[in-house]
Amino acid sequence: MVGELAPVKVDFKTAGADFWKRYHTYRRLRHEESRPDDPLRPDDVEEIRLKRDSPFDINYRYEIARDGVLLSWFWGSTSKPGTPGHESNKHLFWGDLYVRPDHRRQRIGASWLPMVVELMDTHGCTVAGFEAEEVSGHAFLRWVGAEAKLTGAENRLKVADVDWSLVKRWIDEGPRRSPQTRLEVYDGPIPEAMLEDFAPQLTSMLKTIPFENLDIGEILVTPEHIRDWDARFALTGVLQHTVLTREPDGVISSLTDTCWDPSRPTIIEQRFTGVRPDARGRGLGKWIKAKMLAHMHELYPMAEWVVTDNAGSNAPMLAINMKMGFKQYREGSEYQIGRDALAARRRAIAAG
């Protein structure tokens, strides 16, 4: 049966109504498998998001479909030449593939491997990376020969269960423990005048995240990256918020940011939280996390969950989150495999 099916490249900007109909059916199926309790982003909003190109990456989207049904989906991405950080990231190819549950174990997933190798060769990539959360995804990637390089989890805080006395205590303790440190709150994009100073400091803190054995190249955030994020959020009305602390010399010592999507009003997405290594031990992480939680609760009383991702080895942040009441919702792993190993596995599958 697999021999009858062939990948077809998809261009979101020119795709017709028939494609979007089967794509949204696929999207609902995958959502039901991975996030059944969460609100699903409306079709029109999702289309707006997907039709916007990235100025920093080369993206590929393919489908395998039959009789108007999308059976399998593949997305691939690699760094665009000439963009910031390209030289240290150009060897990496990131992918995501999905097969409908009722069509698994029919070698549809394996049928993507030749194309992955071809795309890697097109760009000179030597390492492919994939993420898995479901049991089926872990099993497939291990079968292919990929190795888990980073293990993490999506952790969730139920707002109704928050200990608000703890939150207040952390907010009150912040200025007492760091009386010369100033806390700043930004609702909406970071002001344009701050970006040249903000971007390198954010980059510095992002580099403190533990990535275990994952090959990720150089982490580099520029004002252009931030403007692109802002533009993407603005397309669909996503609201972003930042809480940071600044030392007397102007250095940003800690930072946390969140976003709220009006199409998914019950969820607050907690994004990055970081504290400079030379500023740790003063409770800054607790201060900014507590301030952000209280601020979000005031702005979005309809929100029921705060959702965040953490590496399993990020002990300091996990400790703060657990004290706040976050609990593990789903575990996932980032897998990687070398180009030559992937090609060898492809040949072995074809021969077998």
Model confidence band, residue 5 (pLDDT cutoffs 50, 70, 90): confident
Residue 170: predicted pLDDT: 98
Which range is least confidently modeled, 78-82, 237-241, 346-350? 346-350
pLDDT in tens, 65-89: 999 999 999 999 999 999 999 999 9
The ranges assigned to domains in the chain are 2-151+334-351, 163-324
The upper half-sphere exposure of residue 324, i.e. CA atoms within 13 Å in the direction of its Cβ, equals 31
Taking alpha carbons only, the member of 135, 109, 74, 104 closest to residue 349 is 109
Fold agreement (2-151+334-351, 163-324):
yes
The upper half-sphere exposure of residue 197, i.e. CA atoms within 13 Å in the direction of its Cβ, equals 10
Residue 2: predicted pLDDT: 53
Regarding the domain delimited by 2-151+334-351, which CATH topology (the fold level of the hierarchy) does it fall under?
Answer: Aminopeptidase (3.40.630)
Distance CA 276, CA 251 (A): 10
pLDDT in tens, 35-52: 998 999 999 999 999 999
Q: Tell me which CATH homologous superfamily contains domain 163-324.
A: Gcn5-related N-acetyltransferase (GNAT) (3.40.630.30)
Residue 317: predicted pLDDT: 84
